[in-house]
Amino acid sequence: MIEPIGVEKKSIVTSLGRMVYYTPTKKPWQESETENKEALPTMVFFHGFGGGSSAYEWSKVYPAFASDYRILAPDLIGWGRSEHPEKNYCPEDYIKTIIEFIEATCVGPVPVVASSLTAAFTIRAAIERPELFQCLILTTPAGLSDFGEDYTKSFFVQLVSTPILDRILYSTGIATAGGIMNFLQTRQFAKPERVYSEIVQAYLESAQQPNAEYAALSFVRGDLCFDLSKYITQLTTPTAIIWGKKSAFTGPEIGKRLAAMNPNAIKIFQEIEDVGLTPQLELPGVTIGLIQKFLKLLKE
């Protein structure tokens, strides 16, 4: 995988296997071996899902916080360098391992930044274990079946739900440089010219890990989708939401409806013009600035 300068790879063991995570502990973030990075407050970044997703998704953002926080950016189970169990994944798998990761690596409540469907899982994790979360900053948090929408009815989902054919489609249409480039340019980014070769290479390396198809196909089939509107009112953790106006999967109208259901917890809803599903890759500088702003506001 491709990591920023000065990042160390570590891991913990969850109930579903070993989860790898990345943390800036080397130069230029830590000048000597005696410097105590553990003394800094912790901040966690969780990536979203898609063919080849990994902690790389936040790699243009989290170094900006490495001087003030102990940064942890994991590859979720089934993605990146973490273990890839041969199973059909469900939402509870990720809600549980998000909680287990924070329990194993953090002391006290921490600010958590998360993306897309994983951000929706993080909301459910914060509802289940609110004492672990100081605040949430979420980009495009959606369950992909919100307000009764049925993502699984699309023709493509029916196609990838066909045994044997699903593996062929993954290996020939998803886990290739061309397939990843096409997805990023047409479905994930608002402007195709913002997709450059390093992004494609990082996604491709993750997508071609042994057994990577299990988590990816669970996502594409809709096995991980749920209706976030059924849970959002239970959230008590102070939350800010960032939503790309040109998100191809779920537009900002869904986000506004979700935010309006719980104004006591969801303090901020920020729509960004001319950006898609992952502003952290498409406009990392803007995303950094907004996270810095929201961290201050949510802690007041």
Show the tokens assigned to 107: 């002391």
Contacts of 265 (CB under 8 A, 6+ apart): 235, 236, 237, 238, 239
Contact 216, 86 (CB under 8 A): no
Residue 253 located in a structural domain? yes
Nearest to 193 by CA among 249, 274, 273, 248: 274
pLDDT for position 155: 47
300 residues of the chain, pLDDT tens digit each: 789 999 999 999 999 999 999 999 999 998 765 566 668 999 999 999 988 999 999 999 999 999 999 999 999 999 999 999 999 999 999 999 999 999 999 998 999 999 999 999 999 999 999 999 999 999 999 999 999 887 666 545 555 555 556 677 787 778 899 999 999 999 899 999 999 999 999 999 999 999 999 999 899 888 999 999 999 999 999 999 999 999 977 899 999 999 999 999 999 999 999 999 999 999 999 999 999 999 999 987
* Geometric angle at alpha carbon 185, from 184 and 190, rounded to 5°: 105
Report the 10 Å Cβ neighbour count for 75.
Answer: 27
pLDDT for position 164: 52
Residue 275 located in a structural domain? yes
pLDDT for position 37: 62
Residue 139: beta bridge partners?
Answer: 115, 242
* CATH number for 220: 3.40.50.1820
Residue 1 located in a structural domain? no
Contact 172, 264 (CB under 8 A): no
DSSP 126: H
pLDDT for position 175: 87
pLDDT for position 35: 60
pLDDT for position 242: 98
Domain of 215 in residue numbering reads as 7-299
Q: How far is CA 143 from CA 78, 125, 151, 211, in A?
A: 19, 13, 10, 24
Residue 107 located in a structural domain? yes
**Collapsed DSSP state (helix, strand, coil) of residue 10:** strand
Residue 53 located in a structural domain? yes
Structural domains in the chain (count): 1
Strands (E), 25-164: 42-46, 70-74, 110-115, 133-139
Q: Global pTM?
A: 0.94
Residue 64 located in a structural domain? yes
